[in-house]
Amino acid sequence: MSNYLPGEWTVSSSDRLPYMDVAYLGGKGYSPISELMRAIILRTIEDYNSEGEIREEAITYMFDEEDQYIFSFRFICKHLGFDPDKARHHIMNATRRISTRRRAA
């Protein structure tokens, strides 16, 4: 049990608090859910560039018309501001390999 009563916690300038970059607040930048969605799309591109069953599963995923499931291709594209049909077309008709490597910040 804590010895502190509500309202008794104080923070001094010497206390180390977790750092958070406020530039990403407001839904205009980094958010864990958007990062996960980007990772799913990048994984889909990698799988599409593979062969066999993995490629077939990526194609099935991209053509699934489900848009209510938060991790469906259509929902993710819409959430990230992409047209799902155009995104699928560009993935499948790329003239050069799409880089899926994450760049350092």
CA dihedral of 44, 61, 94, 82, whole degrees rounded to 10: -90
The pLDDT value recorded for residue 100 is 72
Is residue 43 a part of any domain in this protein? yes
The pLDDT value recorded for residue 57 is 97
Domain with 59 in it: 31-92
Closest CA to 41 of 95, 78, 2, 3: 78
36/23: higher pLDDT: 36
Q: Which residues neighbour 68 within 8 Å (Cβ) at sequence distance 6 or greater?
A: 75
103/52: higher pLDDT: 52
Is residue 100 a part of any domain in this protein? no
The pLDDT value recorded for residue 102 is 64
Is residue 14 a part of any domain in this protein? no
Is residue 24 a part of any domain in this protein? no
Is residue 103 a part of any domain in this protein? no
Is residue 54 a part of any domain in this protein? yes
Domain count, the chain: 1
Burial class (CB in 10 A: 0-12, 13-18, 19+), 11: exposed
Q: Is the pTM of this model over 0.85?
A: no
Per-residue tokens: 52: 């066999």
Is residue 55 a part of any domain in this protein? yes
| pLDDT tens-digit map of 30-60 | 688 888 999 999 999 999 999 999 999 999 9
Place of tokens 């990772």: 39
pLDDT bin (cut points 50, 70, 90) of residue 72 is: very high
